[in-house]
Copies of this chain bind each other. A is one copy, B any other.
């Protein structure tokens, strides 16, 4: 393999920051009344299970969702050396009573830690915290960082409607920055659903990137990274609509003094301090992100194991990026920095 071809499809060198876990079983609720929306698993066809929420099948998933060995097998075909695994976002449970959510997320974090432990270093844990309660969220942050050794967490693009830039989360993100825990922001219960005309699947197709774009914008307009420069924060689905919102936000800051006060630094410049995954399904769109955000902020995101995922993430980057050094940053180096891990030597090299 010549230097110019690296990293390229077949390298087995990619690091994926966006992949989800659903355990084979979910726990019974410990306590009196089972909270509304407490999820459970039910049998489905061979190697599959139903995620049940409020008595209905929320999604049917295969063993890929819980089996570390099956996942590592697929990672070979996806050219991935390492994958960060986080809960299916619907399990984040911000809408549940805080102690119930804390119970469920503790279970998820331990399941994720166990999968990582069984993977021979191929899977790393990305945990979750009950952000609807600052005290419980800080306690779980301590637990997953200090006891489980996680270096990253997943949060929703909004927490019961509040985006990450809202002031109530400031203290939590200060703690993440101090502990060196990176934050991956994933689409969840998005805004704008009332504007969709057509099948339900328009929700992940259109409303997810819309909500992620507004979430990322909230981090810029609240100057969150300016106030916590050590915080590493990433956004799913290429940051959603953020790249297209930036020029107008930049111009608005020049026109309206109130926006200049709110954003002491240029939002376009601040956006180049956030991280984004590459899950945009289009070489031209990826080039657009690279131009807007720079070569050090993009990292592979696949959304494995769901149907709407990128099965060839290294090829997707290779199709958009000619420069081998920049390619390598997108394929592995940026994610390694974000996740606080070493870049692996390509597994296919002797």
> In the complex where A191-B191, A221-B197 touch, is A205 in contact with B241 (Cβ < 8 A)?
no
- Are B202 and A221 interface neighbours, CB within 8 A? yes
- Are A281 and B247 interface neighbours, CB within 8 A? yes
- Are A245 and B307 interface neighbours, CB within 8 A? no
Q: Does A161 contact B (CB under 8 A)?
A: yes
Give the chain B neighbours of A249 by CB distance below 8 A: 202, 205-206
Give the chain B neighbours of A167 by CB distance below 8 A: 197
Q: Which of A161, A197, A262, A288 has the most CB of B within 10 A?
A: A197
- Are B201 and A256 interface neighbours, CB within 8 A? yes
Shortest C-beta distance, A22 to chain B (Å), equals: 19
- Are B209 and A258 interface neighbours, CB within 8 A? no
The docked-state distance in angstroms from the alpha carbon of A206 to that of B192 is 13
- Are A282 and B195 interface neighbours, CB within 8 A? no
Q: Does A280 contact B (CB under 8 A)?
A: yes
Produce 1/0 per residue, A187-198, CB < 8 A to B: 000011011111
Specify which of B163, B191, B241, B248 is in contact with A197 (CB 8 Å cutoff): B163
Q: Which residue in chain B gives the minimum CB-CB distance to A284?
A: B291
Q: Which residue in chain B gives the minimum CB-CB distance to A283?
A: B247
Shortest C-beta distance, A271 to chain B (Å), equals: 13
Q: Does A204 contact B (CB under 8 A)?
A: yes
Q: Which of A33-41, A53-61, A124-132, A210-218 contacts B (4 or more CB under 8 A)?
A: A210-218
Number of identical monomers bound together in the oligomeric complex = 2
Q: Does A67 contact B (CB under 8 A)?
A: no
Main secondary structure on A side of the interface with B: helix
- Are A209 and B251 interface neighbours, CB within 8 A? no
Produce 1/0 per residue, A224-246, CB < 8 A to B: 00000000000001001101110
Give the chain B neighbours of A214 by CB distance below 8 A: 192, 195-196, 206, 210
- Are B195 and A206 interface neighbours, CB within 8 A? no
Give the chain B neighbours of A209 by CB distance below 8 A: 241, 244-245, 248
- Are B252 and A245 interface neighbours, CB within 8 A? no
Q: Does A285 contact B (CB under 8 A)?
A: yes
The docked-state distance in angstroms from the alpha carbon of A321 to that of B197 is 34
Specify which of B194, B200, B244, B291 is in contact with A258 (CB 8 Å cutoff): B200
The docked-state distance in angstroms from the alpha carbon of A255 to that of B221 is 35
The docked-state distance in angstroms from the alpha carbon of A287 to that of B262 is 29
Give the chain B neighbours of A205 by CB distance below 8 A: 245, 248-249, 252, 256, 259
Q: Does A182 contact B (CB under 8 A)?
A: no
Give the chain B neighbours of A282 by CB distance below 8 A: 247, 250-251
Q: Does A166 contact B (CB under 8 A)?
A: yes
The docked-state distance in angstroms from the alpha carbon of A69 to that of B273 is 48
Give the chain B neighbours of A210 by CB distance below 8 A: 192, 210, 213-214, 241, 245
Q: Which A positions have Cβ atoms within 8 angstroms of B?
A: 158, 161, 163, 165-167, 191-192, 194-202, 204-206, 208-211, 213-215, 217-218, 221-222, 237, 240-241, 243-245, 247-252, 255-256, 258-259, 261-263, 280-282, 284-285, 288, 291-292, 307-308
Besides the known contacts A191-B194, A206-B245, 4 further A-B residue pairs in the complex with CB atoms under 8 A apart = A241-B241, A243-B244, A244-B285, A247-B282
